Structures are given as C-alpha cells and as structure tokens.
Amino acid sequence: MTTPSLADLPPQSRSLLQTQTIELPSWAFGNSGTRFRVFTTAGAPRDPFEKIDDVAQVNAFTGITPRVSLHIPWDRVGDYDALRAHAQERGVSIGTINSNVFQDEDYKLGSLCNPDETIRAKAVAHHLECIDIMRAVGAPGPEDLAGRRHQLPRPGLHPRAPGPPRPTPGADLRGPRLRPAASS
C-alpha cells in the first residue's frame, strides 16, 4: 500500500490546503521545560518583540505562519501600538490574545467561577485587560467571535456534532475513584 500524496486529493481539497495558515503560540519561542523546571536556552527570545521576530522567520521559511498568539501576563508590554507596528514591519500579525488564569496561586480553585468574590473580580479584570490588548494590537476580539457564532456546530443540530451523551437517570457519575469502597 502506498502513502497518499497531495496529488491524490481532489482539486477543491488541495485548494483549501493552499489557503491554510497556522497561528503560532508565543510560548513556543521562549524558554520552556516541564512542570518541574524551565530550561534556559541561549538565544531564546527575551520579550514579545523578539518572539515576533522568530515568528516572522518561521513564516519566511514556511509561508503559512503569518500570526502569533500572545499570552498575558507573559507577553505584557508597555506599548502595544509599538508591538503591533513591530509585527506589521516583520510581515506578521498578532492573532489571539490568551489570558493566563491558571498559574497564579489565587486561581487554584478556579478563576471566573472561584468561590471567592475577590478572586473572581481579579479574573474578570484580567480578561478585560486582555480585551483591551486585543483592541490595541488589532487582534480578533469578542466582537469578531460573536459574528461567527452561526458557524459553530450546535449539539443535535449538526450531523457531525451530536453533543455529549446524556447520563442515564440515576447513574452514579462519580467515577470509580470516588465511589465508596464495597463493604464486605
């Protein structure tokens, strides 16, 4: 059996692949590691401007990576107009702005749904900051997403998106680890 190639695809599929682009995450260009330690690497970008330089270089090699997604607070800068202009000068754009509401100790019990009203307010403020950053750098924001809701599959309304299975009434939903031990 031979491995299929692009030539085996119908013309419409090949055409779609030629228009496909990939948005690269900024964290892929910094020092990284495991949950136990971050490993530093010589030459790793030190700030979002240098990450954008690296994204532009990858795009120069591939031609399909014209956007970078930023992650706040890791990619916070003092001048977002300058960051946007820097990206434009390099031939790329800033895509998604991602909020980080998982790293801070305050969020160990959640962020927007945290039982502590003060922490929920902190998470809301962080998301509002991210929306301001989206607008400053020209990234797709909530207004763009609201206009695309009609494109999303809805459970039960789309043949390939039937939705999650419904639990059987009276079923034990706690899973095997949370069930009490059988008595002997």
Structure tokens at 106: 């305050």
pTM of the model: 0.71
Q: What's the rounded Cα separation, in Å, for the pair 153 and 76?
A: 34
Can you give the pLDDT at residue 182? 60
- 38-39 and 23-25 as β-strands: parallel, antiparallel, unpaired? unpaired
Q: In sequence order, which residues have a C-beta less than 8 Å from that of residue 132 and are 6 or more positions away?
A: none
Q: Are 93 and 59 in contact (CB under 8 A)?
A: no
Return the exposure string of 124-143: e unless at least 16 CB atoms fall within 10 Å of the residue's CB, then b.
eebbeebeebbebbebebee
Structure tokens at 12: 């419409």
| Position 96 confidence tier, pLDDT thresholds 50, 70, 90 | very high
Residues present in the chain in total: 184
* Closest-CA residue to 99 (of 65, 116, 122, 67): 122
In the three-class reduction of DSSP (H, G, I as helix; E, B as strand; rest coil), residue 96 is classed as: strand
| Position 124 confidence tier, pLDDT thresholds 50, 70, 90 | very high
Longest dimension (CA), the chain: 72
Can you give the pLDDT at residue 18? 80
